[in-house]
Structure 1
């Protein structure tokens, strides 16, 4: 009978809840058609037709050192790469398939180069692995909810052996956990319909993973998809429970708690535009100021932000993404203390921004200025030791103006005569409590 060990769990999760900000990288053959990572399923492309991208794949600009540097410069602390997405193509040298990067014109184990580059930048290493595989002959085809051939009766399931697929899938996970050194994150994707938990032989899979990578942290998608919380949240953790909840393309309105009201670790995975894999026509990028505020929102609710980039067919992160990362990095270099190791402040969200906390430090993130002195609701004047601008360390005085004399129980600070904030995106006050 599985026994959840909270002490062990919190120990392995400590770095993750401290890091708060990571990079997701979706990349594979689908960068060539450049219509997103689900292109084969959405357009119901037969395997034979999809193989032309395999024959063509040769990312001449692939340089994982540049990827890792971009992540570090943006203030990210960990990176997660799609070692294998749903199309079944492997960026690593698996001995169990020919459908891999080492058999393309590229001829390289791209995961091996990636993990080396990420570690060299001092970042934590994560690998994404799809539980689905549209290439493997033993994975359900016709009638499956997701498979490209789901509507084609010529691809019936007679003779397909799902147990044989599971053996293949487990063997590939074993390779990732054995051949690439210490892994910090293993990001499975995803469960649906009857394919969840023990349908994947989840207990056996995680026992193997933990025996090879005892410190690795794992998402919750052996049980759920981008929706759903999993068994840890339900208060009855299975052997394959997720270490964190993985909301997709949404930031939970109030963070995430288990059935007993205890805060859960979570990580919102979010795209920069509207696709995970490279999509040439998708130019709807979220601006850097918005993403900075969304990172702050995640942290203020006790969560992480895993922000995605989708490199192109040549292996380059798109210029628009690089520009956004650089802008975020500029803000993080001055204000990272309000993100790393921070979480909920226990203070109601103010009208003008958000609040994060680490120990006796409160970080007031000011998104818009007020008329008159700024109210610090939730903090009493006698509790405050000092107030400083986080970006430059400048003293910010408490206000004694007559204009707030009608509100004697609220503490106000004086930001000075300029109605324009020093940082128009997010000006951060560091308040040290006594």
Structure 2
């Protein structure tokens, strides 16, 4: 399975001196500085792509599985490996993918370097079970995407699975049966591959998954966290490197866990949080490409999700699942494009903003605050009679209120603790609109 781990012996040794530093003891100020770009960027694009795009959610005439299809249908390792010979995505264009992300307003991309099926989507020197050695495609998609992101000014991140159904030392179900040696897998396979990814592609984010297996412990998570931060101190790493994630809500169950941010999956936190967090969601039902999944969320829903996440102080990582040809499905591209149009008009209410204690009013108004602490954005998706009433935010007398997309200040009055803002007869854009309120104060709960 391995080509050679010797290349990484020197790298690991050279880092051993630096690994003595405990990055888990990082000061709050240092972490705030390291995480600032990530917090400010707010919106990213997730990409789940691998061999599972070939069966596309169907095996032997039965549906189910997507990126979990190997496990869902109990496909033997040797049989699953045959998908590699069929993986030849001639339509893959890294620059096109990045342009789709950029047009959507996404500021960073996170792509699967290795999912649970164990297949490496880059030219790995640790294994031949990778896209260059095992497929007719023979191209390093991770390198091409990393280069395209760098050229476009988009941050690049990598998803990596801790568990591995393919590696005999990581999967007790492998046949012929052998006693797996997880420590050997961790030290001679998992770590060397991660070191390779950092050295070759310089990711800004490492996004882990598969930490729920019994073989993985918090102690191992902390060790890996320090190992990776020693290789690149500026890395941003999610909390699934640890064991602290509390179900799909994704926030830590206990303090002092490894990882920098919580990871709610397919849901948004019920309220705001001062902790770093990122809600990851699909545009349809599945992460990986499923040819029969046409249950697409509307652009309006996706925009409202982004607004809700930003108001609660989080990030939104929205997934696409490219097909085996290397194409992002057209319905995903269409919806991402609509998000980009909305963000072009209203971006200052989403990026580089902070959450207010009173982050919402009713079901149709969300608030964010500019970094200056003086500008409040009221984002609304419903209004009546060309006016909107707000009780939570109180502008100072003489301050100005604008509707993003228009240059003229709006008329507003204050009466009985409520602010009434007169809106134009025709609102610019659609789905949701933003009032920019200068010199506003938020009322205490």
Q: What SS does the corresponding residue of 2:334 show, helix, strand or coil? A: helix
Counterpart Cα distance in 2 of 1:381 and 1:95: 60
Q: What SS does the corresponding residue of 1:254 show, helix, strand or coil? A: coil
Counterpart Cα distance in 2 of 1:41 and 1:307: 24
Give the equivalent residue in structure 1 for 2:194: 173
- 1:223 Cα offset (Å): 1.8
Conservation of the 8 A alpha-carbon contact between 1:128 and 1:189? yes
Change (3 A) 1:27 1:165: same
Structure 2 unaligned regions, length at least 5: 1-21, 58-65, 441-445
Question: What is the aligned counterpart of 1:214 among 202, 213, 233?
Answer: 233
1:314-393 residue pairs with structure 2 within 5 A?
Answer: 314-347=325-358, 349-351=360-362, 352-358=364-370, 359-371=373-385, 373-382=387-396, 385-393=399-407
Question: What is the aligned counterpart of 2:125 among 84, 92, 95?
Answer: 95
Change (3 A) 1:276 1:172: same
Q: What SS does the corresponding residue of 2:113 show, helix, strand or coil? A: strand
Give the equivalent residue in structure 2 for 1:129: 160
Give the equivalent residue in structure 2 for 1:39: 69
Residue range with higher mean Cα deviation, 222-231 or 367-376:
222-231
- 1:211 Cα offset (Å): 1.6
Counterpart Cα distance in 2 of 1:113 and 1:192: 31
Conservation of the 8 A alpha-carbon contact between 1:177 and 1:183? yes
Conservation of the 8 A alpha-carbon contact between 2:116 and 2:210? no
Conservation of the 8 A alpha-carbon contact between 1:373 and 1:399? no
Q: What SS does the corresponding residue of 1:188 show, helix, strand or coil? A: strand
Question: What is the aligned counterpart of 1:3 among 25, 28, 31?
Answer: 25
Counterpart Cα distance in 2 of 1:65 and 1:347: 41
Change (3 A) 1:381 1:219: closer
Question: What is the aligned counterpart of 2:264 among 247, 259, 265?
Answer: 247
Q: For each residue in 1:349-392, what CA deviation from the matched residue of structure 2 results, as whole angstroms up to 9, or x when unmatched?
A: 22332111112111111101134731121222435611111122
Give the equivalent residue in structure 2 for 1:394: 408
Q: For each residue in 1:179-237, what CA deviation from the matched residue of structure 2 results, as whole angstroms up to 9, or x when unmatched?
A: 12x321010113115233346x3333222211211101000002245536566x733x1
Structure 1 unaligned regions, length at least 5: 143-148, 257-262, 401-406
Q: For each residue in 1:122-156, what CA deviation from the matched residue of structure 2 results, as whole angstroms up to 9, or x when unmatched?
A: 011101111011110111333xxxxxx6xxxx654
Give the equivalent residue in structure 1 for 2:436: 430
Conservation of the 8 A alpha-carbon contact between 1:25 and 1:81? yes
Report whether the alignment pairs 1:227 with 2:248.
yes
- 1:249 Cα offset (Å): 0.3
Counterpart Cα distance in 2 of 1:174 and 1:355: 41
Counterpart Cα distance in 2 of 1:228 and 1:349: 20
Conservation of the 8 A alpha-carbon contact between 2:251 and 2:263? no
- 1:318 Cα offset (Å): 0.5
Change (3 A) 1:379 1:161: closer
Question: What is the aligned counterpart of 1:290 among 280, 301, 311?
Answer: 301
Counterpart Cα distance in 2 of 1:165 and 1:193: 14
Give the equivalent residue in structure 2 for 1:408: 416
TM-score normalized by structure 1?
Answer: 0.88
CA RMSD, Structure 1 to Structure 2 (Å): 2.0
Q: What SS does the corresponding residue of 2:357 show, helix, strand or coil? A: coil
Report whether the alignment pairs 1:202 with 2:221.
yes
Counterpart Cα distance in 2 of 1:79 and 1:242: 19
TM-score normalized by structure 2?
Answer: 0.86
Give the total of aligned pairs.
403
Conservation of the 8 A alpha-carbon contact between 2:361 and 2:392? no
